Amino acid sequence: MGEAFAWLGKIFELITALIPRPFIIDATQEGVKFKYGKYIVHLLPGVYGYWPLVTKVVAIQVKRQAVVLKPQVLTTKDGKSVIMGTLIAYTIIDAVAALTEVDNLSETLFEVSQGAVPGVVAGKTLQQLIHDVSEISDAESGNGVMTILDLELCERVSSILRGFGVNVLYCKVTDFSSCRVLNISGDFGSSK
């Protein structure tokens, strides 16, 4: 019986796709309207109408946001192991680029940020890292002072994310410690 009325549901979906619908972009968002899958219209906060049959509307938060990266175990230039966690604060300055240059901006933020940290650490010895994580730079962020390591990390992440419409406000090292990494491998069943 349900299959007999399934065609009615499909007809109802088609009819509703022909009716224009309202869409609200909040004050904390911007959006993009894709017409016919290719024409892009940048939307600022406000009320818009769209035709679901040929239009798709996507909104994105553009106000200050933060990504907290879990601590990573990294190796320094002199072969020492350290654990370092970071925080990246950012805003979206180009909603069109943020929604069209990458498939998933959140994943891209994590990927770029997580990838930048090893590059910064690998170029320094443990003593240089300890100095740079505690030495205050001349630059200030929206969250107070930045260390030399914060500033270097911020420059590296900013240069990549700018192309995706992201403005990095600041980077902070949240966790830092030297550590010893034990690599347990081998056959546990054998007795040597």
pLDDT (tens digit per residue) in 39-65: 899 999 999 999 888 999 999 999 999
Q: How high is the pLDDT of residue 31?
A: 96
**CB pairs under 8 A, 24+ apart, for 142-145?**
142/64, 142/89, 142/169, 142/170, 143/89, 143/169, 143/170, 143/172
Q: How high is the pLDDT of residue 192?
A: 43
User: Cα separation of 86 and 11, whole Å?
Assistant: 52
pLDDT band at 191 (very low <50, low <70, confident <90, very high): very low
Bridge partner residues of 145 (DSSP): 140
- Percentage, residues of the chain above pLDDT 70: 90
This prediction's pTM = 0.81
SS3 191: coil
Q: How high is the pLDDT of residue 168?
A: 96
Domain 65-179: assigned CATH number: 3.30.479.30
Tell the residue number behind the tokens 């805003």, with chain if given: 91
Asked whether the predicted pLDDT for residue 156 surpasses 50, the reply is: yes
Q: How high is the pLDDT of residue 187?
A: 52
- Going from N- to C-terminal start, the domains of the chain cover 19-61, 65-179
pLDDT band at 37 (very low <50, low <70, confident <90, very high): confident
Asked whether the predicted pLDDT for residue 10 surpasses 50, the reply is: yes
CA angle (66, 28, 152) in 5-degree steps: 30
Mean of pLDDT values over 95-108 = 94
CA angle (70, 73, 75) in 5-degree steps: 140
First-residue to last-residue Cα distance in the chain: 71
